[in-house]
Each structure stands twice: as C-alpha cells, then as structure tokens.
Structure 1
Amino acid sequence: MPGEKSRSFGNIRPLPSGRFQARYRGPDGRLRGAPTTFPTKKAAERWLTLKAAEIAQGDWTDPDVGAIPFRDYAAQWVEERDLAPRTVDLYGSLLRLHLNPTFGDVLLKDIREAHVRSWRASRRKAKVGKVTVAKAYRLMRAVMNTAVRDRLVKENPCRVEGAGQEHSEERPALSVAEVYRLADAVPKRYRALVLLGAFGSLRWGELAGLRRRYLDLDARTVAVREVAYELGGVRMGPPKSRASRRTVQLPGLIIDDLRAHVEAFAAPGPDGLVFVGARGNALRRTNFAAHWASARSAAGLPSVHFHDLRHAGNTFAAEAGASLRELMNRMGHSSTRAALVYLHARDDRARELADSLGERAAEELRRAREAGAEGEEPTG
C-alpha cells in the first residue's frame, strides 16, 4: 500500500495529520489497527513490539470479543447463577439504579479504571449510601472478573482500593428491658414476633416464613427451613445459604409468649405460618412498618430498626458465653467476620468487666503489699 512502511511484524503508515497508524495481523488472520494513532513512528513501533510479545506469550485478546454492552453481559451473568430470590432482586436493583445508568451501554472492552473511579465518586456525591455503593462496586467487580475469565477483556477495571469495603454505622445494642418495651408496645399479634426476633436471632424473612411444624415449643427450638421473599408479592423459598439453614435453641423466658401466640394468632395446621397479618395473609414489611414505627415511638426508641432485635439477640448470646463457632451457628453465618461484629459488648457490660478487672487487680495489689509488709524485719 502506498506510503506504508513494512517491518517484521505489522506495518506503520504516516498520515496527512503527521501522526502514524499501526496495523498488524492477529492470530485469527485478520488485519487489525491500533485503537489510536501515534505522535511518532517510534511510538507506533513500540506498540507493535508489545503486541507481538502478547501474541508470542499467548496473552493476546481479540479486541472485538469484548464488544458487548455491560447491561447485556451483567444480565446474563445474574441469570447464569444459582442465586436466592432476594439476591436476584438485590442485584437487579443495583444494576438498574446504580450501574446501568453509567455503564449499561458501554462495551466491556471500553470500560477503564478511571471510569470506575469517576462513577464511584459521582455516587458518593449524589449522597448514595456508602454500603449501597460498596455493594454495587462488588457486583461490577464480580461481573468483570467473569469477563476476564471468559477472555472478553484482558484485565478487570475495578481496582479501586477499598471501594468494595462496607463501613456500616454501628447499630445500638438493645438491652433486655428495651426489647420488652418494644414487645409491649406492638399490637399483641406481633409481640411474639419481636421476642423471637431478638431471642432467636432470626431475620425478618425467617420469621415471616416460619411454619408451625418448624417451631417445637416442648424442645424449645425453632428450625429455619423456609424464608419469605418479597418480590412483588410474598413467596417462600429456601434460606439464602447452607449456614442459614439451622436450628436455634430458645430460652425458656419466651416460651409462654410463643405458646399464647400460636394458640391465638398462628395460621392452622402444621404448614400454617406462625406469623400472619390481621387478615391471615403472610407478613409484609410494608404492612408491619406502621406498627413498628408506633412501637418505637411509644418505647422511646425512635431510631431502632427491626434488624436491631437480631443484633441484640446475638449480643445476648455472646455475653452469655457463646463461643465464636456457637455464635456463627446461631446466627446462620459461615464466616467469622460477621460473627465477630456481634461479639462487641454493650457499654454497661463493658463497664462491668472493667470494674471486675479493677477489683481483682486491687485485691491482688493489696495481698502483695500485705505480704511485703509481713516480710519486713522490725527496726529499733
């Protein structure tokens, strides 16, 4: 071709603009051009040298295979995984609200680390919660990791240090008295719901999906085998993980309340739901929200979330002497990280421990001084 200079690998052509174009023939036999032009011939030669090395080492990636919109690939990624319904709903929300508006129409091969940094900064400036941004980032990183394994892109652009870490605000650790104030403040139909949420360390979905045959009040156990998922309507499904499928031992303190509840409010039959609404329907967060808001106000605990009941129960168990493994089993977690979060003590318990430590230290110091005084020889 006129004006084109040949070399051992690829060729370089000067352009009317004074820049240089580099082209090479890939392993698939197709002639391909560099994604950009170069200011000097030497820069073009350097690029061709690196491209030749990629091919020789087997690291070459077809630049056309990553020509897939992020939106399409991410949707396929979710569909191909065996995810719990709630996780599917979460990922769909993260994609729809936070990732696709920026990356949906961008080709996988065109996403750069700088784009990811800019996106994260824009989400933070838009006052999106830190936890939500971290979850969205982790989802995108997982999708792009698969794209790397599929050889659609050469490297993952999600390399922003610390971007996937969640730093949730520490929730209050309720006292036993505060739990009972909340239980006393809700309508009687939901009293046992509050108590079991706290002293059984159960999640909302585990409570809403609990059937009578999984609650053994003679043995004082509750088995988590089904979970209620709110995806448009309410539907039942398996727990989100193997660790979540568990049997929890209950304290005798709440058994009478649970018996009274089952007799008065639970749906009939072994498959009947333990907790239902006033019309006998499955519980929904939106329907319970007004009752919970009123109870929080009446109990003088306006900032407490329902999930704080589970947090309280985990703290009670830790303070009662549960080991890390026992706490993990009770919570339904397979990792120690989540369990360790719940091992912190309430301020009053921490104060008791500090006072006990001080008393023991003072007693040991007193004995040491007395022993020293007895060992002194009299003078005079």
Structure 2
Amino acid sequence: MAKRDFGTIRQLKSGSWQARYRDPDGLLRPAPHTFERRRDAQLFLSKVEADMARDDWYDPSAGQVTISEFGRSWLTERRLADTTRERYEVAFRVQVLPTFGNLAVNKVREADVRRWRAELLDGGTGEASVAKAYRLLRAIMSTAVDDGLIRRNPCRIKGAGDDRSPERPVLTVHQVLQVAEVMPARFRMLVLLATFTSLRFGELAALRRMDVDPEAGFVRVHQSQAELSNGQLIVKGPKTAAGRRRVAIPGALLVDLRSHLAKFSESGPDGLVFVGEKGGRLRRQNFRAVWVKGLSEAAVPAVHFHDLRHTGNTLAAAQGATLRELMERMGHASSRAAMIYQHISKDRDRHIADGLSAQIESAREDQGDDEVQG
C-alpha cells in the first residue's frame, strides 16, 4: 500500500485502485468508487485535499438521503402558515415525489429537473402549478446545498419559477352592476366591494363592522379568512405589512353599504359584515354555486370571483392611479403585480392619447390664428 502526505492509495485484488483519506473530523473515508488507474486515484485525493484547504469539502455520503425523506423534513422544520403548508404538501406529494421521491439528493441532476418540468407541462399540468412545484424543489435543494449535502443546486432553469398564468378577464362597470343586481340581496355588496375596493374573498369574509366606516367611506383590512382542504376555517393576519391597509370606498356605494349593514350584517362592532344565508361564516365553496348562478342570470362572461379584484385593479389604473397607489390599494409589498395593471390599462392610454390630440389641435388652431393675424 503506497502512502502519501494526504490520503492513501492501494491496489485491490481486482486490479483497481482505492483511495482513502481522513475527513475534517478525523474519520477515515474511502472514495465513493474505485479507479482503473493509480493516477486517477491520485487526482481524486488532490482534489479532496484542495477542497478541504478551501473549506469547500462536503460529505459525499450525506447526500444519499432520499428526496422523500429530506423534503418531508424540510416541510416539518419550516414555520409556515397553515394554508401555505397545505399548498406545499400537495405540490410535494403530487408533482415532486412521483419523479424524485426515491432518488438520493446527491443524484438529482440538472437534466433530471429539466425533463421533469417538461413532462409536467406536456402532461397537462398548468404552468402556475408547475412553477410552484419547481420553486418548492428549488428551495429544498437550496437547503441541501446549505447543509453541505450537495455542492450545486440542480434547479437552474431560468424563469421556471415565474408564474405565467393566462391574463384574467376584465368585466366592465356595467357588467359588474348587472351581476350585483341579480345576486341575492345579502351578497350584492360583497360583489361591489370585491370590485371597487379590490379586496380578496378571504378579506371580505373576515370583515367586522368595526373595520368599515360608511360615513368616512373606507374599509380597514387587517385580517383574512382561509379555508383548509379539511373544511377548517382560519382567520389570520396578512402575509406582509403592506397587506394591512385602509381602502377608500367609492361614494356611490355608501348608501347601499349602510343598508347592507342594517339588514344583513351581524350586530355589534365585532359582528361580521358578510354572513351566509343561514347566518354562518362565508365559505368559498358554498358561495361558488351562488356566484355561478348569478353570472348565468346576468348573461356576462364566466369569470372567477377573484377576477372582480382584477377588474377593480384595472379600473383603478385606468383612473390614473400611480404605481405606489396601486400597491397600497392592492396590499402588495412588491411593485411587480401593480406594474401589470399599469401596462394593461389600454383605456387609460387611449384617454392620454386623446388628451394629447386635443392639445395638438388647440395649438394648431392658435398657430392658424396667428398666421391670419400676421
């Protein structure tokens, strides 16, 4: 057995060469495989020695834990909101585990991730769902890098974690009023506030009387209702500080709002603003049947209730709301979503162009008058 300053090399009875070395803890470790040539074993030990000198060495056996085991530990160790945890667990179980579950963490390659993503998309999984699953896998593998299980995150597809959901439809103000008119009376204000204050369904379902000021004309958002797959309802605070906000209510809705509070809301400052037909809390699934029926009776395009928020944001942008104003109204800490509405506000762009046209015509008329007088 030949000796070196770092590690040892010996030839086995099979004729192949084995390299061994001591890790930073003093444990004697064999190379993960044997070598056909002594020279290859020497190169391996030189690389390990260099890695240790740079404090860049990692335990090759540690990465042998499976994605299934490591991923479940990752989920358990994270402090996540109940709804977020549920979404992660579904994505992990449905999209990640079937392909990577039995594979060791250190065996996942970039080509594997590219093929997995392509197969999900080709198989009909929506782009938004694939993007969420990719972000989850990328986060898990990033932790594996931090833990020294692997050197490099194999999730390196540019833009793969970006949601590219199709553009949502926008209703006109007339269409929104049509839908509100045919809805059961107790839900009309729900439709109007969802549109013209851009509140989410969960934020509306959690509103208390103390959160609404029908005289000053504003609504205060500081919590939201979420529903888990097992039917449990949870009231929680916003994800970010920006989610806590005060939104102005159009004056044209205030008379109707006062009427709603008097007829349909629970009493007392802590009473819910919106409740179901039998007095219980609003549930998204129960309300869906009412919503679909209303769309049909109003003869408007089949849209999701959440598209009312999209409509409201678009209308606000068309009124000339600045990027900061849109962010505050929507409750977003990032400008990314708000910028979308500035770009898609074609009606506002037309209005600006018409205004410029009027100025051009006015300037031309003035110029013509000057030439006549001259």
Q: Same fold (TM over 0.5)?
A: yes
Which secondary structure state, in structure 1, belongs to the residue aligned with residue 80 of structure 2? coil
Q: Is the 8 A contact 2:32 2:60 kept in 1?
A: no
Q: Deviations over 1:105-154 (max 9, x none)?
A: 33323322222222211211211111111111112212222232232332
Q: Is the 8 A contact 1:202 1:310 kept in 2?
A: yes
Structure 1 residue 247: Cα displacement: 1.4
Which residue among 155, 158, 170 is the counterpart of 2:155?
158
Q: Deviations over 1:357-380 (max 9, x none)?
A: 3343344456557767877xxxxx
Q: Is the 8 A contact 2:194 2:309 kept in 1?
A: yes
Q: Deviations over 1:163-189 (max 9, x none)?
A: 112222112232211211221232222
State the distance in 2 between where 1:361 and 1:21 align: 84
Which secondary structure state, in structure 1, belongs to the residue aligned with residue 75 of structure 2? helix
Map residues 52-201 of structure 1 onto 2, 5 A cutoff. Answer: 52-201=49-198
State the distance in 2 between where 1:230 and 1:7 align: 64
Q: Which amino acid aligns with 1:288?
A: F
Q: Which moved more, 1:5-14 or 1:167-176?
A: 5-14
The alpha-carbon distance between structure 1 residues 335 and 346, as it changes in their structure 2 partners (threshold 3 A), is closer
Which residue among 38, 42, 61 is the counterpart of 2:39?
42
State the distance in 2 between where 1:360 and 1:22 align: 82
State the distance in 1 between where 2:38 and 2:118 align: 38
Q: Which moved more, 1:357-366 or 1:61-70?
A: 357-366
Q: Which amino acid aligns with 2:103?
A: V
Structure 1 residue 15: Cα displacement: 5.7
Q: Which moved more, 1:340-349 or 1:164-173?
A: 340-349
Q: Is the 8 A contact 1:184 1:191 kept in 2?
A: yes
Which secondary structure state, in structure 2, belongs to the residue aligned with residue 32 of structure 1? strand
What is aligned with 1:329? 328
Q: Deviations over 1:301-330 (max 9, x none)?
A: 333221111112122222223221121111
Which secondary structure state, in structure 2, belongs to the residue aligned with residue 24 of structure 1? strand
Q: Is the 8 A contact 1:173 1:346 kept in 2?
A: no
Q: Is the 8 A contact 1:319 1:345 kept in 2?
A: no
The alpha-carbon distance between structure 1 residues 370 and 38, as it changes in their structure 2 partners (threshold 3 A), is farther
Which residue among 219, 223, 240 is the counterpart of 1:222?
219
The alpha-carbon distance between structure 1 residues 346 and 96, as it changes in their structure 2 partners (threshold 3 A), is same
Structure 1 residue 13: Cα displacement: 4.4
Structure 1 residue 238: Cα displacement: 1.6
Structure 1 residue 224: Cα displacement: 1.2
Structure 1 residue 195: Cα displacement: 0.4
| 1:275 matches 2:274 | yes
How many pairs were matched up?
372
Which secondary structure state, in structure 2, belongs to the residue aligned with residue 342 of structure 1? helix
RMSD after superposition: 2.5
| 1:312 matches 2:286 | no
Q: Is the 8 A contact 2:319 2:348 kept in 1?
A: no
Q: Deviations over 1:229-284 (max 9, x none)?
A: 10122221222222111111111111122222222222233222211111111111
State the distance in 1 between where 2:28 and 2:182 align: 75
The alpha-carbon distance between structure 1 residues 251 and 274, as it changes in their structure 2 partners (threshold 3 A), is same
What is aligned with 1:10? 7
Which secondary structure state, in structure 1, belongs to the residue aligned with residue 343 of structure 2? coil
Q: Which amino acid aligns with 2:187?
A: Y
Q: Which amino acid aligns with 2:349?
A: A
Which secondary structure state, in structure 1, belongs to the residue aligned with residue 241 of structure 2? coil
Percent identity between the two aligned chains: 47
Q: Deviations over 1:310-351 (max 9, x none)?
A: 112122222223221121111111011111112234444433
The alpha-carbon distance between structure 1 residues 71 and 359, as it changes in their structure 2 partners (threshold 3 A), is same
Structure 2 gaps of 5+ residues are none
Alignment TM-score, normalising by the size of structure 1: 0.89
Q: Which moved more, 1:363-372 or 1:201-210?
A: 363-372
